Structure 1
């Protein structure tokens, strides 16, 4: 495969263009510490075993003393994080597209947990790791923290903290048993940000509204979700569908 690389900062994806298609090439500094090398191999071992429309596709990789690189399909519209919080973030009129992104992301997670020969736990579900193709179909990416486990295993041994603070399930940083449900919790945190159209923590707001999951739960218990959604700037025409998603992420984050 002939790939042309642009000038880039190492360890960050760049765009390469072979003759038949565009690809994204993630180059990792060959002098990186052992942990980075382990994440590289974890990414190859996990995503290399999968094929699903809602997972980014790995075309190949290079692992030698002078070059470590992963060759992925190129996903045109960047990350969900950029769509939610970037300069050209989406509007309320595009809520239907967000519903499709949420469903597609859930299908990708379900495939990893239930349809692979060995269950794959991603450990880092968050908007930055959900990429969007030309028609905004979601694709889970960044499997550097992923772990393969037997389908009949009820618990997974974990050494050290995994995931991203604010999205990682409590059992990943407390002495609790870890299962694939930690991905479900993280998916719930992702849904909070999709529906609220804000970061889960915003110190600029009043104390009761700073931590979005807690505020949502309090409003849910008081049966006041419509009022909360209005405060988030959601149009009345979208409130019913967003209430349904709210119920879903409350279940993800509380009952996992």
Structure 2
């Protein structure tokens, strides 16, 4: 009996211990699982926070980079704007640029022109006004700044800046290596090929077209002539000398003037008469320039035979007689260039029409010279001369035209010498 009882008690204790052990194991496993899940979630949370922080840092960096790029772009843009406007320099600046006026390029009634250089190596031409300048010279000085200083075109000379001190008044231009066009038209020692002259004629027309039709305010030059067409190293033309130029509103077609303007021989008739003046006076002057490019000679040369003293009238006579071919031969124009030369003859005759309204716009001039616009037969631009006896020299003198092959106004002499090499 006692042995049986003892065995029964021992068996009961063993079963209870086993159950407790199992229960404890289950609880422990659950705790481990819970702890593991908690650790995994904690790790995932930390990773998410790190990723978000990294993305925020990257985003901020990207914004900073973009901001820096924008600021650099804006600064460059503002710097370019400043470069395109004339800068006011001091007297000491001018002395430094010209190395104390070491190299003189030329002189005239308006002032003396010196060669100079900016600190960055860009070559310049500095026109220094005479100290004893009169009111007209001061007006021309201000006209240069007020007109060319507002423009930027490949066929207009660029005005970099000016000096307006008590001791010095000067204008600073880009330097044009080949000087002015008149040297290549009237100097036998440095003639250009006619094909290049044709390119110069078109480039000059585009510069004038910009002044008349593409600027915010229309600019009338008043003094278009070979001496005011400058050539760069590649013989590309740039219109220069805006000392007589005027700004005018586009809606105002007429300009009030006091006294004659322009250079005799190139100035439109209305500039010397009490008639309304428009931008078409530049078209007339350009036509006279075309005649000189065509013939590579001055329009008026006293003493020539065959009525060729006044070249434009001789061109008209040949055109009217249907003999333009003789003009080509006389001017030494090759057969391959004769179509272009014939167009140039007709355009020139249209440009010098007596009535301003009959003259074409400079846009039409460019298109006709480039063969993009048909040219109808021009009418006689010299019909009004019938009241004279037919002598070109008498007509020229009556209009104030010079009979000298080397005459020029003092103001034009100064600009003709700008940028010419010694």
Q: What's the TM-score bracket when you normalise by the shorter of the two chains?
A: over 0.9
Query: How high is the TM-score relative to the length of structure 1?
Result: 0.95
CA distance in 2, matches of 1:112, 1:219: 33
Match of 1:12 in 2: 112
Aligned length: 254
CA distance in 2, matches of 1:207, 1:143: 38
Q: What secondary structure is seen at the aligned counterpart in 2 of 1:12?
A: strand
Match of 1:3 in 2: 97
Query: How high is the TM-score relative to the length of structure 2?
Result: 0.58
Which of 103, 106, 116 is matched with 2:205 structurally? Answer: 106
CA distance in 1, matches of 2:226, 2:102: 26
Residue 239 in 1 paired to residue 338 in 2?
yes
Match of 1:40 in 2: 141
Match of 2:54 in 1: none
Whether contact under 8 Å (2:180, 2:226) holds in the other structure is yes
Q: What secondary structure is seen at the aligned counterpart in 2 of 1:208?
A: coil
- Residue deviations 1:189-211 (CA, integer Å, cap 9, x gap): 00000001110001120262111
Residue 184 in 1 paired to residue 283 in 2?
yes
Match of 1:128 in 2: 227
Q: Answer with 1 or 2: which has the greater Rg.
A: 2
Offset at residue 7 of structure 1 (A): 4.9
Offset at residue 234 of structure 1 (A): 2.6
Q: What secondary structure is seen at the aligned counterpart in 1 of 2:161?
A: strand
Q: CA RMSD in A?
A: 1.4
Offset at residue 240 of structure 1 (A): 2.3
Residue 24 in 1 paired to residue 118 in 2?
no
Residue 63 in 1 paired to residue 157 in 2?
no
Deviates more, 1:181-190 or 1:234-243: 234-243
Q: What secondary structure is seen at the aligned counterpart in 2 of 1:209?
A: coil
Offset at residue 29 of structure 1 (A): 1.3
Residues 244, 209 of structure 1: alpha-carbon distance in 2 compared, 3 angstrom cutoff: same
Higher fraction of helix: 2
Q: Which has the higher contact order (CA 8 A, sep 6+)?
A: 2
Deviates more, 1:142-151 or 1:12-21: 12-21
Residue 158 in 1 paired to residue 249 in 2?
no
Q: What secondary structure is seen at the aligned counterpart in 1 of 2:307?
A: helix
